[in-house]
A = this chain, B = another copy of it.
Amino acid sequence: MTGLKDLYEYIDQHRDQYISWLQEGCRQPSVSTQFRGIDEMAAMVEGYLLKLNAEVQIVPTGRHPVVYGKILSDKEKTLSFYNHYDVQPEDPIELWDYPPFGAEIHDGKLFARGVADNKGNLFARIAAIHAYQQVYGELPVNIKFFVDGEEEFGSIYTHHAIENAPDIIETDGYIWESGYKTPDGALSIRLGLKGMLYIELRAKGANTDLHSSNAAIIENPAWRLVWALNTLKGTDERVKIEGFYDRVDQPSELEKQMLANMPLHEKEMLKNLELESFLLNLDGDELKEKFIFQPTCTICGIYSGYTGEGSKTVLPSEAKVKIDFRLVPDQDPDEIIVLLRKHLDKHGFEDITIHKISGKKAAKTDPGDPLAKVAIKEAEKFYGKPPQIFSMSPGTGPMYKLAAQYNIPAVSFGVGYEDSRIHAPNENIRIEDFIEGIKFICTVMHEYSLVNKGISVG
């Protein structure tokens, strides 16, 4: 780290400048789902990337463009930053203590819609590159910025940028969009995302709700749905769809080691949630392994008939359930749907229809990958504690489409903390986390450049 002392000092001396950059970024609304401020925000990001002497393209995707910036030299390695310049809507605005696009600082925290997700990270990376250039003149690796304009819109169109700028995925690895610091000050690092299949199952009865006395002779779709659901998963929590687990791998030895080191504050978590135990009474490594490496089948919502206060004697005409399957690598949402259809038919539920809402494959970066190793090792040194590593974390994002499917490693960490209130009122980050984040990006970039130059990072 001695090597970066000058750089850290430079960052400390210029902290106000970098904070003001972030404030400028946060004051520009950029709500992708509302088509609000997108062009302005893309132009602003372009302007900042130009400050870094990047070659910048506004790459069309079919919806909101990707801002793609590259700073190429003759360096051996290329490191990419995947971030997004769009934000969630600020509703409900009345629950904010400060204006959502005011970027006000109170008690060492900057409050703004999008500051944690994802502008704080975007600007920390811009600032890191800037500072590195100011202090050392030249970057130690080639750098690419892949700045998505519609992550909060599902990144449905984002991958079309690859067709319009094919070199955008010529990279040795991504530092992915975001992350947070744990309450005890460790950095949380995500090496992947579970995939997802989100569906709705529907059962249909008569063409109208009926008086419940008719239930003696007319089929009840709510019962049909209950019985069908019961065939999907039993109280042992094992999904009963034939073939569902065929592509599910055991974690590797390295992943198991990481899992063992990953803190999961069981007692605190149970107390906060007012629960007596975790699912199936699991604890310790078994609990963590299930959390990180096992696919799920979750009823996210179910509804049929009368749901108000008191009683209404109704025989419902339809019943619906929303289910998300969290998938692990190699499980394919489209294949799962086919297996599910077969399963329902086999159990006599041909009448129950499946409606796909979304599907995304999982993405997972090998913790032995050089970029992952650098991030993990440097996080421990920099933050003074072993990082909390998620081999596959919750959350969504285009990690499969932009990284995993091309075997590009992606390592995600960032400048948030446990109370960053992502997607919620009073979204905020701590200023000190932001400044540390700038330094840490410099550190990772620097150390990564040394890999395979005869300098061990193991």
Contacts and interface: CB of A to CB of B under 8 A. Distances in A.
Interface of A: 194, 196, 198, 205-208, 210-220, 222-223, 226-227, 229-230, 233-235, 273-275, 278-279, 282, 287, 290-292, 294, 296, 298-307, 310-316, 319-320, 322, 324, 326, 348, 357-358, 393-396
Contacts of A282: 217
A433 to B, nearest CB: 22
A266 B339 CA distance: 37
Given A213-B194, A213-B326, A278-B217, A299 B294 contact: no
Given A213-B326, A226-B299, A302-B305, 20 more contacts: A206-B275, A211-B394, A212-B394, A214-B394, A215-B324, A215-B326, A216-B279, A216-B296, A217-B278, A217-B291, A218-B278, A218-B279, A220-B299, A222-B302, A223-B229, A223-B233, A301-B305, A301-B306, A306-B322, A310-B357
This protein's copies in its complex:
2
Contacts of A287: 217
A301 B291 contact: no
A296 B306 CA distance: 17
B305 A304 contact: no
A298 B311 contact: no
B303 A303 contact: yes
B290 A216 contact: yes
A212 B315 contact: no
19 contacts: A207-B273, A212-B298, A212-B300, A213-B296, A215-B326, A216-B292, A220-B299, A222-B299, A226-B302, A230-B230, A298-B315, A299-B304, A299-B316, A299-B319, A300-B305, A300-B312, A307-B320, A311-B324, A312-B322
A347 B287 CA distance: 25
B279 A305 contact: no
Nearest to A394: B213
Given A194-B213, A206-B274, A213-B326, A304 B301 contact: yes
Given A222-B302, A301-B304, A302-B303, A227 B217 contact: no
A246 to B, nearest CB: 19
Contacts of A215: 296, 298, 324, 326
Given A194-B213, A207-B274, A316 B291 contact: no
Contacts of A302: 222, 226, 302-305, 307, 319
B300 A306 contact: yes
Given A227-B235, A301-B305, A273 B212 contact: no
Contacts of A310: 357
Contacts of A306: 300-301, 322
Nearest to A208: B273
A335 B372 CA distance: 63
A360 to B, nearest CB: 11
A373 B305 CA distance: 39
B206 A273 contact: yes
Contacts of A211: 394
Contact of A316 (B220, B229, B301): B301
Contacts of A218: 273, 275, 278-279
Contacts of A279: 216-219
> Which 6 residue pairs across A and B have the least CB separation, nearest first?
A213-B394, A301-B305, A222-B299, A206-B273, A215-B298, A301-B306
Nearest to A287: B217
Nearest to A215: B298
A215 B325 CA distance: 10
A287 B216 CA distance: 9
Contacts of A278: 217-219
Nearest to A275: B206
A437 to B, nearest CB: 23
A273 B214 CA distance: 12
A227 B234 contact: yes
Contacts of A299: 220, 222-223, 226, 304-305, 316, 319
A383 to B, nearest CB: 24
